[in-house]
Structures are given as C-alpha cells and as structure tokens.
Amino acid sequence: MIFDSAVAVARRRGVYDHPVPTALLSVYDKSGVVDFARSLRELGWTLVSSGGTAQAIAAAGIDVTDVAELTGVPAILGHRVVTLHPKVHGGILADPTDAGHVADMDEYGITPIDLVVGNLYPFASDPGIELIDIGGPAMVRAAAKNHAHVGVVVEPERYTDIVDELRADGALSESTRRVLARAAFAHTAAYDAAIVTWFDETEPDAADALPESIHLALTNVQSLRYGENPHQQGARYRQTGATSWWDSMTQHGGKGLSYLNLYDTEAAWRLVHRFDAPACVVVKHANPCGVAVADDIASAYRLAHACDPVSAFGGVVAANRTVTNEMAIALGDVFTEVVVAPGFEDDALETFAAKKNLRVIAANAPSPLPFDLKPIDGGLLVQQPDPVAGRTDDWRVATQLQPTDDQWRDLEFAWAVCAAVTSNAIVYARDLQAFGIGAGQQNRLDSARIAAERAAGRAVGGACASDAFFPFRDGLDAAAAAGVAAVIQPGGSVRDDEVIAAADEHGLVMVFTGQRHFRH
C-alpha cells in the first residue's frame, strides 16, 4: 500500500488508523484524468469523485465512489452544492498527527483524503455567474492549506510526474507537496482575478474610470535569452486567461528572443497597425527611426529605412502586409534583429534564410491593452492606454492659412507617428514618409533640432508634429527653419498667441489637436 509519510508516522504512534490512501478527483478539464485514476487504483488507492469526473472514471471500468455516497447528500441546488460537506472538507483538512482531529474524525465518521485532484470551471471562456466555481476552489484551497499531509493537483500535465513519484517512493515528498500547494493557490488566485476583472469590465461606465483595485495573475510562459543586459534574467509573463499574439506567432528563423527583441517588436507591431495602407516601421530601442506608407510593402520598407539608415542598424522592422521577396532583398544588406509581418512569401523566407541570426516572425494583429502600467516603489503607476492618434472633432486650424488635402494627409501621418515617440517628440514628414524623428530630449527645442538634422532638408514642404505644445516660439522657429509647411501640435500653452503669430509670420499652416501624446 501507498501511504503519506506523515500518515505512516501517525499510525506508528497509534493515533491514526488509515489503511488505504484516498484520492478525491473533481475536475472540469478531464485531460488525462481517467489514466491518472487508473494508475492510482493500480497503486492501491481508493477513489472518490463527483459529477462528470465520476462518470468518466466509472465508464472506463475503474472503481470509484461517488461523493454523494460519501456524504449521504446528493448534488443539490442545480449542482451548486456537491462537495461542500464536512465529510469532504474534514477529510481534506484533517491533521493525522493531531489527536483532537483524529477524535473528531472518529466521532463524525470522516475518512481522511490524501490527494485532491481538481481544476475549475473555465470562467474566462464565457464569463458569467454560473461559471463562478465555489466547491472547486474550496477543495483546492483546503488541500493546499493542509499540504503538510495532503497533495493537491490542479494541472493535468503533472499527472505523470505524480504517478512516477508514487511508484518510486511510495509517497509524495514534502517538497513536492509544497510545490503543488503553491501551484494550487496560484490557480485559485488567477481564477478570482479573472472574476474581479469581469465585474470591472461589466460595470456601467467602466471605460470612463480606473477600477478600485487591479488584480493581476501572470504566468511565466517564455524564457528569454536575457533581460535588457546579458547579466539580467528575462522572461515573458502572460496574464492568466488572456490571449496574446506572442503565443500564436510563428518564428521562421533566427536565434532565441531577448527582452529587448520583444520590447522593440511590440512597439513596432503596434505602430504599424495604425496605418490602413501598406506601411513599414523601423524601431530602435522602442522608438521609431523610420515610418512610411506606400503603394506596396517593398516601397514602404525602402522609404522607412531611408529616414535614418544609421539608427536602423540592429533595429526591428514591422510590416502590415505580407512580406514579398522584393522587400526581403531590399532588407538583405541591413543588419536587422527582427522582421514581423502578417505573413511571408515563400521566396522571401528563402531569402531571409541566408541571414542566420535574423528572427522572422509571422503574427496576428495585437489586441488592445487594458492598462498602461509602470512600476514604482511599493506598487504601480496605472493609466488608461493612450488611444491611437487620429483626427477628431477637436482639431482646429489656428493660423490664417488652411491646410491643403495633401497637408492634411501629412499632418495626420506625422501626428500618428509622433504619438509613438518618447517625449519630448518632434517628427518631420512629407508624402507619408518620416524624415526626421527627435525623441526623448529634456527640451522640445533639442528634439526639433535633432529631427531637422536627420531630415537634412528632405522634409521641405512637409509637416511637423509635436507631441505637446510649444512653450515658446523657438521650437516653431526651428520647424520653420527645417522648411516644413504645416505644423500639428496640441496647443494649450500660455504663449499660444505668440506661437500662432510666429506660424503666420513664417507662412505656415498650424493645427491644434487639443490633445497631447506624452510618452515616457
């Protein structure tokens, strides 16, 4: 017979009589549970089960006792109450080395339970009241609490290891029970977090306010080569129950992904999806260093790369169309870390195959982010995500000159790019091609100068976007010196009149959006 070591100790002390170990199985996900039950029976265990789990085990010809027979009470209240009974929870929570517990078990006819196998209703699959599991979490938490004497299994992929350990050692070790208990509490914590999130999402006017509390359950789903630097560990965690394009993506070639590969690729992939026409984005250190829209994807790539070829070295390229061999050939001479797109022509994959270190990723579109989170001491800063920068009714022309249709097109393009650049941000663009991007400077004037230097005269007649207002006219003067014909900015400075006068003086069009796009 197979006995837990603590039970064996108690029996030797004469305070506990427990001839056969008992397992309670009650699972929604029945993957592998019948084979697991069969193995336990072969090892001499008594099986207790309920509902569909009991039916599946019995249908396989395996001896199993229904929970109703154990408790003397059938499932009631439309199956809401099945295992909520002292003979179930007393058996799970009993300490076999405690004489008082043993006396209570004897008085009330409670059979000890040595192993609980349970997983919960799939609440996240179809959120609603009836998929809020009560009995399951209660059993799992009880077993995890009493892990000194009881094993608990919530993940079907652990069944084989459990059986192997029982066969080899005759019992689950203390360390195994502790690992299983941690997994069980993580399982119920994630379940409760999903329920709280559902309440928040279904609250009237939920989109207009941040929730009172945020409950995140994250699972380590991908080990990375390293973090931002090789001496740092890195991993991708996914919110439990959520879906991610990273999980469904296909990597066709290249080395394993690092922390910065994911960070930069996420930034590029989100930005390129702001454009409907064929577009390419080149990102370096989470900032775009090239963005362009064109009639075909190869042309879009060439134009995006031309913005800042120096910064594009070692960058990430994102395309919102299937990558053609023409684009692959154009990219061939440029050292690139990652290329991400909805798909790749076979010839393009063959071309990329010659670049052994290039990571080639086919992916679905990214999903909206619920929150923007940044860690600070003792917690997180939380804000709503900044929406995609697009034209709204709040936009107004502040200058004497009105934009032409072509200028409107470039202003909207530059504004969308600028919203993805770290502040202070200035973008110069023309004909749906970025030519100068100034990012992350402590003052707006330096960003304008950097953008102008990189544009090198190519943005003459184009548009300038600023993610926040110009506090002085000097930034506007720098844009005029770069030769742009139109400017887009939020407005709202106490010196707006001065900046508008400067724009009129230079003969520029200027549009106020009424909304800034700081990004830190």
Question: Residues with catalytic annotation?
Answer: 145, 285
DSSP sequence for 339-374: EEES-B-HHHHHHHHT-TT-EEEE-PPPPPPS-EEE
Three-class secondary structure of residue 82 per DSSP: coil
Three-class secondary structure of residue 279 per DSSP: strand
* Tokens linked to 245: 């394009």
Q: How far apart are CA 370 and CA 197, in angstroms?
A: 10
Cis check for the bond before 424: say yes or no (omega within 30 of 0). yes
Q: How far apart are CA 424 and CA 317, in angstroms?
A: 23
DSSP sequence for 251-268: EEESSPPPHHHHHHHHHH
Three-class secondary structure of residue 145 per DSSP: helix
Residue of 227, 233, 320, 328 lying closest to 272 (CA atoms): 320
Three-class secondary structure of residue 436 per DSSP: strand
DSSP sequence for 180-236: HHHHHHHHHHHHHHHHHHHHHHTSTTGGGS--S-----EEEEEE-S-SSSTTS--EE
- State residue 251 phi and psi, 5-degree precision: -95, 115
* Tokens linked to 346: 């076979």
Q: Which residues pair with 385 in a beta bridge?
A: none
